[in-house]
Structure 1
Amino acid sequence: MSKSNSPLARPLTLPNGALLPNRLVKSAMSEGMATMDNRVTPALVRLYERWARGGTGLLITGNVMIDRRALGEPGNVALEDDRDMPLLRQWAEAATGNGAAIWMQLNHPGRQSPKGLNRENVAPSAVPFGKDLQAMFAPPRALRGDEIEDIIRRFATGAQLCREAGFTGVQIHGAHGYLVSQFLSPLTNQRTDQWGGNAENRRRFVLRVLAAMRERVGSDFPIGIKLNSADFQRGGFEESESLDVIAALADAGIDLIEISGGTYEAPAMAGLRASTRAREAYFLSFAEKVRKRVSTPLLVTGGFRTLPAMREALESGALDLIGLARPLAIEPDASRRLIAGEETRFKVKPIKTGIGMVDRAGLMEVMWYSRQLKRMGRGEEPRPNESALVSLACNLAGNVRGTVQTRRLRA
């Protein structure tokens, strides 16, 4: 199949008129490449310029925090004001100047932040992690009502700053156990006020975030969301409720919905059958259910590895965009190759250290790949065969150093 006939090469016009040049998306991966006081760096500019040259139509940044007091990991960019506007503009231009769209993913970690990084962690309710992860994550404090309103304003400010900097859209991180996801889940949201209790109250926070953003950026600036199909925990956020949230977001005018799943306590792979893994698109069955409920464009991320699976998924009509993350961390030109009808050069493999707690938590699936991103940020090529144990040791040393430096800067 020629490039011109490939379904991956077709542009997509979103309902608000925004154009995406093809059907391949770099989904968010945490870069950890900010300064220790959470400023944008030239390394991020180099990284996204490299991806844009690789042919991906839409680049979604790693999670950018809306509050410097609430970081998800050392090296997060925090976006509260225009102090980094020159570098933010360079970051956006690195993508748009090479033909790609670029959206910034905005996030608040809630309780999901390593112990010692923040002075305190906050969440909808004071629900700690399970015993396997309590050594890594401190118990959170329940948010007050005025703090919730402040967080909503911070999401809106972040969206406005993105538009001013030249980003072509934003994405709300509503998946993987971070704050928006915590509000949605009955396990982590045990409030009895307007922000919790029944399903309608639990989704009030994300709908308010969307409305506040829209008020600041207008109708022609795309706002998307990354949302769990489920969090794979008994008594947690389930598919039926996710469908209701998606329908409410569609009614509220969301421009793009990315479907994902899982949390730190229950990674997505742990909740999937072997037959689903073999199908490659982990959340395609859920996307088919979503398509019956809403017409909003859908992006599915998770598991895509081969060209036939990507083509088949697009041609099925169940989704509109293919999300790639890990393949682009080891092969930044993979999109250009796929659109040309060629398979990728390197295949994604599970990253295992042999250390049970680390492997069960899926932590290396972040740490190992973040090291490849940092290599590209330095202008180097990724190392597809790097040892997991070497990566773990280097990341742990860097995280300890980064946590200490971050706390010192705040002292």
Structure 2
Amino acid sequence: MPSLHEPLTLPNGQVLPNRIMKAALSEVLATKQNAPDERLERLYTTWSQGGYGLLITGNVMVDRRQLGEPGNVVIEDERDLDALTRWTKATHDGGVPIWAQINHPGRQSNPLALGHTPVAPSPVALALPGATKPRELTGAEIEDIIERFATTAAVCETAGFDGVQVHGAHGYLVTQFLSPKTNLRTDDWGGDAERRRRFVLEVVRRIRSRVSPGFAVGIKLNSADFQRGGFTVDESYEVVAALASEGLDLIEISGGSYESPAMMGTEADSTRSREAYFLEYARTVRGLVGEVPLAVTGGFRSRGAMEAAVFEGECDVVGIGRPTATKTDAADAILSGRTDRLSDHDLRYGMRRLLGKVADIKALDGILNLGWHGDQLHRIAAGLEPDLDRGRLVTTVSAIRKNGRASFLPKRGH
């Protein structure tokens, strides 16, 4: 049976050196022109020396008019090709493959970055205070977005990325098409489960048609969105089964949205204690994915849990997210036996009873933790060590400075 140390050959022939993946974390380190610069190069150089078998970037947007948050890298064409090439070289010099996570935020667009109304499958606003009601996409706009995903993937290949991962989780546009809560359409893009999943299938097909066979195409999928009337586990099985025959090289399992943040481990203490929040779901789709490898991200902390998940065949790749923001060599620490468990750094707001009267306190905690870990990435990118003593107040102030009131809307994803 496989071990964490064993290389993994993907369906396209690409070989991952080991089974630990640095999962996507939104870095928000782009220039004002939404290009990568030396900060991202420095951050990824550090991670490339951390023992990972694969590095996946944070949100790379396919449309500069539709940003998840200020500071997202955008790839629409080859205008930033030199900078993108330096970014990929930073990881290749360390011998590690890098994939770009490509995304469209849909209704989760940051209003400060847009200056106009977000777009979505249907005009359904986020169920959070201050959320903007999106405008329904036209059929022509949907086709344009599909083409944008493909163009972004093609530019990524030219720039030296080893693959792309379509972000189909955490409430972004792909998820919005899949969910009956956010897709109320009755045309070719909605009305039943088959038409709701057409968008993601067309995105993957278009990408695969525009890149070479050796270029990896993966997807991050929700097991469910954990909302009544939303995207269900049974529907997710149908999506996984449909995608498995579309030439994918890796399916990463996650779950939740920023209205119901299961991916942050905020659902319950019992969920936290299980470590891998979505491993049970991964077991149930093993028979649906065929030869497509499975990655599971969310909650892995101990070497024992990681080893067991791979050895027992529950997943092929273990994804580590937030711990890599404070321990950049987390994979090497686990693989070498230097540590048996990665540290958690979870912050919670005080005055919980009072805050709970005006907001979803669990969602606020999730946003606080995303901000705290994002600040650590900015420190590493500046050549500094992580600040493990950074508190709630300075993290909140930092988020407001970066994003204004949008800091407390569910825009800050990974």
TM-score (norm 1): 0.93
Deviation at 1:386, TM superposition (A): 1.3
Q: Distance in 1 between matches of 2:81 and 2:10?
A: 27
Is 2:273 the counterpart of 1:312? no
Q: Distance in 2 between matches of 1:386 and 1:270?
A: 21
Q: Distance in 2 between matches of 1:175 and 1:260?
A: 7
Other-structure match for 2:53: 57
Say if 1:320 and 1:270 are closer, same or farther in 2 by CA, change over 3 A: closer
Deviation at 1:272, TM superposition (A): 4.6
Deviation at 1:36, TM superposition (A): 2.2
Whether the aligned pair in 1 keeps the contact of 2:301 and 2:341 (CA below 8 Å) is no
Say if 1:313 and 1:345 are closer, same or farther in 2 by CA, change over 3 A: closer
Partner of residue 281 from structure 2, selected from 273, 277, 286: 286
Q: What letter is aligned with 2:289?
A: V
Deviation at 1:352, TM superposition (A): 1.4
Matches within 5 A, 1:171-250: 171-250=165-244
Q: Which moved more, 1:23-32 or 1:261-270?
A: 261-270
Q: Distance in 2 between matches of 1:107 and 1:75?
A: 14
Deviation at 1:353, TM superposition (A): 2.4
1:226-278 per-position Cα deviation (integer Å, ceiling 9, x unaligned): 00000000000111111110110001121110000111111005775544432
Whether the aligned pair in 1 keeps the contact of 2:110 and 2:406 (CA below 8 Å) is no
SS of the equivalent of 2:244 reads helix
Say if 1:112 and 1:212 are closer, same or farther in 2 by CA, change over 3 A: same
Other-structure match for 2:382: 378
Q: Distance in 2 between matches of 1:400 and 1:272?
A: 27
Partner of residue 348 from structure 1, selected from 327, 333, 344: 344
Other-structure match for 1:154: 148
SS of the equivalent of 1:61 reads strand
Q: What letter is aligned with 2:124?
A: V
Other-structure match for 2:362: 360
Q: Distance in 1 between matches of 2:170 and 2:301?
A: 21
Is 2:29 the counterpart of 1:33? yes
Q: Distance in 2 between matches of 1:41 and 1:402?
A: 25
Whether the aligned pair in 2 keeps the contact of 1:54 and 1:333 (CA below 8 Å) is yes
SS of the equivalent of 1:16 reads coil
Q: Distance in 2 between matches of 1:249 and 1:234?
A: 25
Deviation at 1:220, TM superposition (A): 1.8
Deviation at 1:394, TM superposition (A): 1.1
Matches within 5 A, 1:107-118: 107-118=103-114
SS of the equivalent of 2:185 reads coil
Other-structure match for 1:329: 325
Deviation at 1:187, TM superposition (A): 0.3
Gaps of 5+ in 1: 404-411
Is 2:18 the counterpart of 1:16? no
Whether the aligned pair in 2 keeps the contact of 1:331 and 1:345 (CA below 8 Å) is no
Whether the aligned pair in 1 keeps the contact of 2:302 and 2:341 (CA below 8 Å) is no
1:140-194 per-position Cα deviation (integer Å, ceiling 9, x unaligned): 0000000000000000000000100011010000000000000000000000000
Partner of residue 254 from structure 1, selected from 236, 241, 248: 248
Whether the aligned pair in 2 keeps the contact of 1:57 and 1:99 (CA below 8 Å) is no
Say if 1:345 and 1:199 are closer, same or farther in 2 by CA, change over 3 A: closer
Other-structure match for 2:412: none
Q: Identity percentage over the alignment? A: 53
Deviation at 1:359, TM superposition (A): 3.9
Q: Count residues with an aligned counterpart.
A: 396
SS of the equivalent of 1:164 reads helix
Whether the aligned pair in 2 keeps the contact of 1:32 and 1:75 (CA below 8 Å) is yes
Say if 1:330 and 1:344 are closer, same or farther in 2 by CA, change over 3 A: farther
Whether the aligned pair in 2 keeps the contact of 1:23 and 1:320 (CA below 8 Å) is yes
SS of the equivalent of 1:300 reads strand
1:330-358 per-position Cα deviation (integer Å, ceiling 9, x unaligned): 10011111110232676113221225437
SS of the equivalent of 1:225 reads strand
Other-structure match for 2:42: 46
Q: What letter is aligned with 1:397?
A: R
Is 2:394 the counterpart of 1:398? no
Deviation at 1:39, TM superposition (A): 1.6
Other-structure match for 2:76: 80
Deviation at 1:373, TM superposition (A): 0.4
Partner of residue 122 from structure 2, selected from 117, 121, 125: 125
Q: What letter is aligned with 1:291?
A: R
SS of the equivalent of 2:167 reads strand
Gaps of 5+ in 2: 408-414
Q: Distance in 1 between matches of 2:406 and 2:269?
A: 38
Deviation at 1:15, TM superposition (A): 1.2
Other-structure match for 2:272: 277
Q: Distance in 2 between matches of 1:330 and 1:126?
A: 39
Whether the aligned pair in 2 keeps the contact of 1:128 and 1:134 (CA below 8 Å) is no
Q: What letter is aligned with 1:89?
A: T
Deviation at 1:114, TM superposition (A): 2.8
Runs of 4+ that moved beyond 6 A: none
Q: Distance in 1 between matches of 2:2 and 2:390?
A: 33
